[in-house]
């Protein structure tokens, strides 16, 4: 059975494109590519159709050689909330906005940082790096890299 996972932020140009790419990276590294369907979106329509922010494209390339420039922003809608098994928010405001959409069982709407591997870091938001310098995108990359691995561990543990 395929598990459908949707990552979302506000614009779908900075944080959630990295989450989509890094979760896919972990899935493929573990040979689980045929078990997951992975996507990303934004709660706003501000950037629909646009490629990821240059800061996110650059850090993905530099750190892991991932090319995310082909992704295009889409808006999160009620149909996604119904169709996906897990909807993973980058921050608390994203989560509140998604809860207003039709049809979402609350249990499948979760926060990415609840999957921090280290308990001491667990909870809170992935900070919005939009308009920030490279260090902001690097901080987001590291956080999202850890938490997407933690999420995959949790989803695989759930199945057994």
Site for ligand 4NP, rule CB under 6 A: 9-15, 42, 46-47, 128, 130
List beta partners, residue 3.
Answer: 36
**Catalytic one among 14, 53, 128, 146?**
128
| Closer to ligand 4NP by Cβ: residue 13 or 88 | 13
Residue 128 known to be catalytic: yes
Name which of 124 and 153 has its Cβ closer to ligand 4NP. 124
Residue of 157, 155, 158 lying closest to 23 (CA atoms): 155
Catalytic residue, chosen from 15, 24, 113, 146, is: 15
Q: Is 14 a catalytic residue?
A: no
Give catalytic status of residue 75 as yes or no: no
Cβ distance to ligand 4NP smaller for residue 30 or 100: 100
Tell me the catalytic residues. 9, 15, 128
């Amino acid at each position: 059975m395929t598990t459908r996972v949707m990552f979302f932020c506000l614009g779908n140009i900075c944080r959630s494109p990295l989450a989509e790419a890094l979760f896919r990276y972990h899935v493929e590294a573990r040979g689980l590519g045929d078990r997951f369907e992975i996507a990303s979106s934004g709660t706003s329509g501000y950037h629909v159709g646009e490629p990821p922010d240059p800061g996110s494209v650059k850090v993905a390339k530099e750190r892991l050689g991932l090319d995310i420039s082909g992704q295009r922003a889409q808006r999160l809608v009620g149909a996604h909330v119904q169709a996906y098994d897990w909807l993973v928010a980058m921050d608390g405001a994203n989560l509140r906005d998604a809860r207003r959409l039709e049809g979402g069982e609350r249990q499948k709407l979760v926060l990415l940082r609840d999957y921090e591997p280290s308990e001491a870091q667990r909870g809170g938001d992935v900070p919005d790096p939009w308009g920030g310098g490279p260090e902001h995108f690097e901080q987001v990359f590291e956080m999202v890299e850890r938490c997407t691995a933690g999420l995959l561990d949790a989803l695989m543990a759930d199945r057994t």
